[in-house]
Amino acid sequence: MPSRWGDERGGATAELAVALPAVVLVLALCLGAVQVIGRQVRLTDAAADAARSLGRGDGAGDARAIAERVAGGPVDLGTSEEPPLVCATLTARAGGLLDAIVLRADSCAVAGGG
C-alpha cells in the first residue's frame, strides 16, 4: 500500500534538525547580549562611584578597589582632571563567551566634593 505522505516522510524531522541549531544560536546570542548590557550598566555605576571617590580626594588605588567591587570584576581605571571636575574612565572585558568585547564607561565628579 503506498504511503499517503509520498516522498516527504521524515521531512519534518530533517527540517527540525536544520532549524534547531539556528534557533539555539540566536537564543545564545540574545542571552550574551543581555549579559553584555548588564555588565555595561554595572561598569557605568562603577565609574560613577570611582569618580565620586576621586572627587573626595581618595587615591586611584581606592577608586579602583571601589570600581572593581561595584563592577563585579577586574577593571582598568584611567583618571583625568578638568577643573573643577575629576573624571574616571573604566574599561573592562564583557566576560563569558563574549570576552573579546571591551566595554568602557566614563563619569565625572566635582573635585573636593567630600
Question: What does the alpha-carbon distance between residue 75 and residue 21 come to, in Å, rounded to a whole number?
Answer: 35
- Which DSSP helix (H) or strand (E) runs through 91? strand 85-93
pLDDT in tens, 7-61: 667 778 888 888 999 999 999 999 999 999 999 999 999 999 999 999 999 999 9
Retrieve residue 2's grid coordinates: 503506498
Question: What does the alpha-carbon distance between residue 73 and residue 71 come to, in Å, rounded to a whole number?
Answer: 6
**Per-residue pLDDT for 2 more than 60?**
no
Q: Which of 38, 31, 25, 30 is nearest to 94 (CA)?
A: 38
Handedness of CA 42, 30, 91, 100 (dihedral sign): positive
